[in-house]
Structure 1
Amino acid sequence: MRELIRRIAAATPADRDRGVDALRALAILGVMLGHWLVTALVADSGTVRVVSPLHQLPYLTPVSWLLQTLAVFFLVGGQMAATSHAATRARGGTYRRWLGARTARLFRPVVAMLAVWSVVAGALLVAGAGLDTVWTLGKLALSPLWFLLVFAALTAATPLVARLHPLWPLAVVLHIDLIRFGLGGPAWLGWTNVAAGWLVPYCLGAAWARGGLRGRATAWVLLLGGAATTAGLVLWAGYPAAMVGVPGAGISNLNPPTLAAVTFGLAQCGAALLLLGPLRRLLQRPAVRAAVALLNLSAMTLFLWHQTAMMAVTAVGLLTGGFLPGLHTLPDGAGWVLARLVWLPVFALALMVCWAAFRTYEQGRRRGATVVRAGRPAEARAVRRA
């Protein structure tokens, strides 16, 4: 481990902003932990169904405030994409090669995941599993793909939106919600917010790449203004307090994104910018820097397989012949929460098995192969050599 840390530290480019990498690592960890905590697979009557603890235990709602970190990921994604595109243009590179390099690493692990789950779904049906169970498991496993599709679309549009002011997509979200909720407009109109809502933090990231968002005053305005607006929308405009979807709820803040989810994301972006300084100081430690580098090198693999890891543990648990607390039982009390916390390390261990099996699809198979993101090739070779 010391040799790995030394190699990664030596391979890290001096001008790489590790604070940005740390924000992305925190965003990925937040999403994974959030899903593991607010998604319960309940086995009863020969079927498996998804139940949200937030529906049964409303006092867990603050968990969604801490662990729904998608806005931070889009903020960092916008910053990195705009920086990378500007650097490519300065070197005389083409848009086609730039886009191909940035999207290849996103979708190589997706192919492996789709192949595996096609086999799993077929095997479950042959073994006699009901269509409802297979649909539930497959939908849960593939749910991260919506995020990748939106992220890839915004990445492709980077040259067009890099200088777009975030207030424009924010205004679109505001008007869509006014039509949907205030004027009784059609519900399908809300899907416009999938692009417009996540375009807000993405445009903030692009502005950051151009030299904006540098002052702490801007970060505080985003944090306090976004938090106050979100609180007002929840308290007086009827938006749900949970920042994730809750099965059975009349309105979901995330599916599709609402104005409350977007203003909450602005608050998260402000908090992320304020964290940059402390994170950069923490990353002066080689061990911390190596951990962040390793997580970023496998970010998509971990993101794509974390739900599968949870389901694998749940399936193995069913082989014991009983319903294990916190794993198969209904989330109806504090006992379930405590039991679920005990299961989190087991989920993480299962995820490490998935990582070991599928990380090569993200990092490349050949020794010394180039990894597509700026600053990554030397680090990836250091990991493979170690």
Structure 2
Amino acid sequence: MAGVIVIGAGVVGLSAALAAQARGLSVSVIDREGPAAGASAGNAGAFAFTDIMPLASPGILRKAPKWLLDPLGPLSVPPAYAMQIAPWLYRFWRACTPRAVARSTLAQIAMMDLSKAELEPFLAATGTLPMLEKRGNLQVYEGEAEFRASAGGWKARADHGIEFHHLTAAEMAALQPGLAPRFTHGTFTPGWYSIADPKHYTLALADLFRAQGGEILRSEVTGLRPDDQGVIITRASGDPIRADRVVLAAGAFSHRIARTLGERIPLETERGYNTTLPPDALDLRMQVTFGGHGFVISRLSTGIRIGGAVELGGLSLPPNYKRSDAMLAKAKAFLPDLKTTGGVQWMGFRPSLPDSLPAIGRARDTAQVIYAFGHGHLGLTQSAGTARLVADLLTDRAPAIDITPFSPQRF
């Protein structure tokens, strides 16, 4: 096997594979579990192009101590993982300075603009445009103080020309009936898109990739080794495979593979939880974000999904589905008409870097390996933009935007 091999069959990897195919390259994909097996299956389904503020910010630092006191709250660090994640948390803290946040925001804006510009052409080219929905997003606040605390983020959006509308409780009720009266303020963002179902979308990309001659292998990649003829890919089982070039887009497992090239990239895992209820569980008009509680509720074609929060617990600890239960209980309190029976719980790994930006660029010691991972909560959102950048790098074109802020070696 030669040509380009993409490691990872999530939405980022498959989008990159299709973009490379569109440039006339011979492409194969390898994944440890197969298409849409990880976060690409269980995310909230949003293209959050207006979400330009990095997670690493002074606002998160202010909220974190309170959140950490609640083991089932929006942010938790299991005691069994606390020492292991301490270096990542230190880097995260350093990324929260005003100067670092300003840099990250500018990079995030460029990435969001590119991803939004690339999305609909990509969906049209892949036959998935009918899955796109434009219902917008409603961010709700409990009281004047919480609403005022959000002002900085909205000013940054306004400075970039992002449309939004602040709402009273009565105006919110007109948009989304049934919200509990504790929510007194809201902000509606019309430019927030969604996909009918993220798993179905990713599987559709896989089907198209195969139909266009691409092969998807199920195998666990254990390492990469450059040689004079390209890159040798070693696997947990089976013979090594040689590729001319490799795209590493293996999500939360990417840093383990990059380490075999001698690179120590500080990727960590935000474990996300959700419950997907039947479609008739609620008359949900748009995605609603409960920012003070760290979760969202989304309407998918397959059901009503309540999920989010951050558990910094790595890849090995067993799931704690009490977190899903806690979010579901809150959702019922916030939207009393919600029917909470018949749900399916899920936990997945979001690959996150300390400054909230992905790693996109070439490996340190070989131009034949391209990294495309670490998107955190924004893998679906930034998938089409990342695919464009990867295709540019694979065909030796100037990237569509400056990728210096996303350098895998910036740490």
Q: Which TM-score tier does this pair reach, normalised by the shorter chain?
A: under 0.3
Structure with a larger share of its residues in helix: 1
The alignment's TM-score, normalised by the length of structure 2, stands at 0.23
- Higher strand residue share: 2
Scaled by the length of structure 1, the TM-score of the pair is 0.25
